Structure 1
């Protein structure tokens, strides 16, 4: 079960305005714009940024240019609003490499614009062809990086780093248990997919409640059972099955890209 993520009306209106202005300035059409980061993951702090992530497509001639524009659009963070998006060609290239970030964006519980129909096709493509082992490697790398920076100089643990290790570990566990399903983005359905025992679920809920009351860089309590889960799962990537490379994946991604661009 996933709790509803509430974005204050004034913040949502400002984000929608900035997205519209950005699209106009860049001459790009937004295909999707969602909330990512800790607010969408289900463990925000009061000072968490609004991590707005989007996909876009440019007019057809941009893809035929000798000097094509950058495949990323980003804006400086202002008033805790962080805008960053990928060109559809970049997104498809990363999808083919089994980068799980795009999978998460497509499953975000918060949408800032109405999804273009191509997003449904993109999601279906990812579901049918993603490599569970590739996703598990992605999450394990994220989790190990967070663990390596776990402790502050005074021996305390940052709540943010705790969660940045926990969510990837749960994703690896979910992939071990059900390699045919892309891991949920939000931590509540992710705990269900990972079949976490109730005592640990209760501790994670306590961590979420604590993080909701402290600043993003604030410290938290250490929970040995949660740490054992993290350390164990990040070492079990080899138990997640590999999906053999399928040339049809590339063919379908190429066809999707060409169809979209030729409509511009």
Structure 2
């Protein structure tokens, strides 16, 4: 499934049947999608499955003194695969959606759909009106955090996360399209050629070290490319036609109310 502004890529997913996980949830879900390394296009053989979604608290858990969980988290192993499940209540998710938060955009627009509803489809359509030039700050900041982690650990994973974030941000600023899939981004933006082999190398292990890869780039090349793509992100933000504030804020507000009142199909 791909909505307006979503990435138009085909991503395969080899995981256990996750529909049973959805059915087990105590609160109804508007949607559930797969995020993380599977969405980004570089899962390892031992990667966990990052399952993300939106649940809807009933009025009885919102209007009284006892408030239901805004965020629900659980990690467990199913059929030999570790599953990391995080869902937000619709109000919290939509609050994040109207801020420059790339995480929730990618979760909402992920083509790896485990569970969908009419409410999900409506929210996907609203997503275009939530894209702003300020999302560049999110992706630049996330890239900086992951680079520091790479400097500390020397692992391939945070290095791929670094460039994935930068390329996603650049492409979003230029096109208004959310693409989180690194192999697709490398084709669209002519990204560093060594990232393709590193994606293949990461398949062998979630925490594989860059030092163990024969075709690894020199540190000077990595630092030069890091600086280049940070600069590209800054230039793309400055020239972006995306608005500074989300024009769909009022529509998303109305969506939350209608969903809470049971007027949006689940």
TM-score, normalization by structure 2 = 0.83
Q: Which residue of 2 aligns with 1:196?
A: 190
**Offset at 1:188?**
2.5
Question: What is the alpha-carbon distance in structure 1 between the residues aligned to residue 128 and residue 43 of structure 2?
Answer: 28
Q: Which residue of 2 aligns with 1:107?
A: 109
Question: What is the alpha-carbon distance in structure 2 between the residues aligned to residue 93 and residue 184 of structure 1?
Answer: 22
Whether 2:71 is the aligned partner of 1:72: answer yes
**Offset at 1:192?**
3.6
Of 179, 198, 209, the match for 1:207: 198
> Cα deviation per residue 1:188-234 (whole Å; 9 max; x = unaligned)?
332344x215xx34x22211111112x11111244255553333222
Of 16, 20, 37, the match for 2:19: 16
Aligned-CA RMSD value:
2.2
Question: Aligned pair in 2 of structure 1 residues 227, 172: CA closer, same or farther (>3 Å)?
Answer: farther
Q: Is the 8 A contact 1:169 1:229 kept in 2?
A: no
SS of 2:114's partner is coil
Q: Is the 8 A contact 1:76 1:82 kept in 2?
A: yes
Q: Which residue of 2 aligns with 1:232?
A: 228
Q: How many matched pairs? A: 243
Structure 2 residue ranges without an equivalent (≥5): 1-7
Q: Is the 8 A contact 1:103 1:123 kept in 2?
A: no
Q: Which residue of 2 aligns with 1:177?
A: 174
Of 201, 209, 217, the match for 2:207: 217
Question: Aligned pair in 2 of structure 1 residues 232, 253: CA closer, same or farther (>3 Å)?
Answer: same
**1:72-91 → structure 2 map (5 Å cutoff):** 72-78=71-77, 79-91=81-93
TM-score, normalization by structure 1 = 0.83
SS of 1:112's partner is strand
**Offset at 1:110?**
1.7
Question: Aligned pair in 2 of structure 1 residues 107, 228: CA closer, same or farther (>3 Å)?
Answer: farther
Q: Is the 8 A contact 2:43 2:203 kept in 1?
A: yes
Q: Please say which of residues 142-151 and 75-84 is displaced more in the overlay.
A: 75-84
Question: What is the alpha-carbon distance in structure 1 between the residues aligned to residue 244 and residue 151 of structure 2?
Answer: 39
SS of 1:149's partner is helix
Q: Which residue of 1 aligns with 2:11?
A: 4
SS of 2:29's partner is strand
**Offset at 1:2?**
3.5
Structure 1 residue ranges without an equivalent (≥5): none
Question: Aligned pair in 2 of structure 1 residues 236, 6: CA closer, same or farther (>3 Å)?
Answer: closer
Q: Which residue of 2 aligns with 1:129?
A: 130
**Offset at 1:117?**
1.2
Question: What is the alpha-carbon distance in structure 2 between the residues aligned to residue 163 and residue 233 of structure 1?
Answer: 13
